[in-house]
Amino acid sequence: MTGPTLSSEYGSPDALRVRMATHDNYSERREDPTAAVLKALRLNGEETLADIGCGDGRFLAHLLERGHRGRIVGLDTSPGMVATVSRIPGAAAIVGDAEQLPFATAEFDRTTARHMLYHVPDPLRALHEFRRITKPGGAVVVAINLTESYARTQAVILERARAYGLAPIGELAFTVGPRTLPGLLRQVFPYTRIERFDDALVFDTPAPLIDFAEAMFSFCGIAADSPHRAAILEQITEDFEAWFAANPGQRWRDPKGFLIATAPVPG
Ligand SMILES: C[S@@+](CC[C@H](N)C(=O)[O-])C[C@H]1O[C@@H](n2cnc3c(N)ncnc32)[C@H](O)[C@@H]1O
């Protein structure tokens, strides 16, 4: 048995996809991080763009669907994610680390890092790399989730995990948040605009909440091969079903949100 790790969590896109589908279907205000990143990027369709921590390549696919003509490339530490991207017609991605990017200085007009900076052990080093690979006159756009997102749902999982001696591990903790991101960016870029988007997940029934909670297990210290996983899943299922039974007509509401930071690279 091994604990959850960054590479086990992102070895395949499955859990990430459950979380993304939950955001698509159960967000209260439907604040759209992809739309917010696109607005910040101010693209004309010809730019070269690197998407760092590209995951399953959904952002690259979105750009291709919009008819983007410039070269776009994804990069991710997970070979499983990169293999998933390679199945998207027209998309390309490589395995690599944000702290040491295998790209030339000023290779791209835009660099994006969406929901990944908190996974990098040295985020400052990654930000220096993002600036290095971006052309003067270009821009770096970073999106992160608010640290306190889904705290209510996580509290239910964490309490059950704790009873088995399980706890979140450092490399899956959200180390970069609203309090730390501005200071990090200031050390690398002369000017940054940060926008905050507040939203919430809302559920009328327990089933999608339970699916989302299970997709959060790694972040609560529960590995895919934990001998306690099935018991914890059973217990949180009972917890959430009991809550809906005790609160008829009410919705489970869990605040969440994200920040979009736009950092122009001086020309
Ligand atoms: C939450 S997912 C976000 C994926 C994608 N950007 C999105 O928004 O759908 C985080 C991704 O960052 C990747 N990642 C984690 N640490 C990384 C690093 N040091 N360098 C590059 N990618 C990394 C993970 O493998 C994972 O695919």
**CA 76 to ligand 1 center in whole angstroms:** 6
Q: Are strands 72-76 and 108-114 parallel, antiparallel or unpaired?
A: unpaired
Q: Answer for the pair 175, 118: CB distance below 8 angstroms, yes or no.
A: yes
Which atom of ligand 1 is closest in space to residue 20's alpha carbon?
Answer: 9
Centroid of ligand 1 to alpha carbon of 8 (angstroms): 12
Q: What domains sit in the chain, N to C, each tagged with a CATH number?
A: 6-264 (3.40.50.150)
Report the 10 Å Cβ neighbour count for 129: 23
Can you say whether the dihedral through the CA atoms of 33, 39, 41, 44 is positive or negative?
A: positive
Tokens of 23: 């955001």
Give the total residue count for the chain: 267
Nearest 5 degrees, angle CA 18-CA 91-CA 11?
40
Distance 98 CA to ligand 1 centre (A): 9
Measured from the CA of 120, which atom of ligand 1 is nearest? Answer: 19
The tens place of each residue's pLDDT in the chain, 267 residues long, gives 567 889 988 999 999 999 999 999 999 999 999 999 999 999 999 999 999 999 999 999 999 999 999 999 999 999 999 999 999 999 999 999 999 999 999 999 999 999 999 999 999 999 999 999 999 999 999 999 999 999 999 999 999 999 999 988 877 777 899 999 999 999 999 999 999 999 999 999 999 999 999 999 999 999 999 999 999 999 999 999 999 999 999 999 999 999 999 999 998
